[in-house]
Amino acid sequence: MIGFLRGEVLDLSMWSVMIGTSGWVGYEVFINEITYWELVSREKVDMYIYHHITENDQTLFGFIELEEKQVFRELIKISGVGWKVALSLLSLRIWNLIQAVQTADNKMIESVKWIGKKMAEKVILELKDKDFVKNYAGKTITASGVSIDGSLYENIKFTLTNMGYNPNQIDKVLQDLPTGMNSAEAIIPYVIQNLK
């Protein structure tokens, strides 16, 4: 079973990436649009892999963060949720997905392609008691003494990545924010000014 890949980005599309390893092997890995934007500015990548094996096929799904892989594994256990739907749900970002589950926000989940009202209710019902939902509840990311809500952190990172900035550099700046910065309006200009 393949659980992790490190290599060069040989080809990239919105739904897949070709990763070339040091052994001169190229692996096609399915991704979602969030991961796509994370990879746009990268030549090399470390990726956690969910290796799905059936009698007739083998498929690889890739994630930048280990938590995404863990949530993906839980999502595809839900009857009616295939890998495309699971990847699309993860495009909400884990923080937003968990918040939607905790608050029974059907509309947020229904905003995902291929998800209707009944499926949104089913996703919420199936996930609400999962450990990863409870473990992430109320989580904040502390940067230089500044506590930032996880969803705010992820949304800022997503916005800046879509603007073409390097995700790794964004993380470094976000981990060293001045005291008192706790809104996107203040943080985003600061990060842009301090990106190298």
**What's the whole-number average pLDDT of the chain?**
86
State the first-to-last Cα distance of the chain, in angstroms, to the nearest integer.
38
Compute φ and ψ for 11, nearest 5 degrees.
-155, 145
Residue 60 has pLDDT above 90, yes or no: yes
Name the more confident of 171 and 58: 58
pLDDT at 81: 94
Residue ranges covered by each domain of the chain: 4-63, 67-136, 140-194
Query: Of 50, 136, 73, which Cα lies nearest the Cα of 100?
Result: 136
Report the distance separating Cα 132 and Cα 67, nearest Å: 8
Q: In percent, how much of the chain has pLDDT > 90?
A: 44
CB 60 within 8 A of CB 2: yes
Residue 34 has pLDDT above 80, yes or no: yes
Of the candidate CATH numbers 3.20.20.140, 1.10.238.10, 1.10.3720.10, 1.10.150.20, the domain formed by 67-136 belongs to: 1.10.150.20
User: Among all chains, which residue has been given the structure tokens 């495309």?
Assistant: 84
Angle between helix 83-90 and helix 66-75 axes, rounded to 10 deg: 140
Q: Supply the CATH classification number for the domain 4-63.
A: 2.40.50.140
pLDDT at 136: 64
List, in sequence order, every beta strand (DSSP E) within the chain.
4-12, 16-20, 26-30, 44-53, 58-63, 140-143, 146-149
Report the distance separating Cα 162 and Cα 36, nearest Å: 10
pLDDT at 28: 97
Q: State pTM to two decimals.
A: 0.72
Q: How confident is the model at residue 93 (pLDDT cuts 50, 70, 90)?
A: confident
Question: Which range scores top for mean pLDDT: 8-22, 132-146, 175-189?
Answer: 8-22
> Could you give the 3-state DSSP secondary structure of residue 140?
strand
> How would you classify the pairing of strands 16-20 and 4-12?
antiparallel
Q: How confident is the model at residue 160 (pLDDT cuts 50, 70, 90)?
A: confident
pLDDT at 196: 65
Residue 88 has pLDDT above 60, yes or no: yes
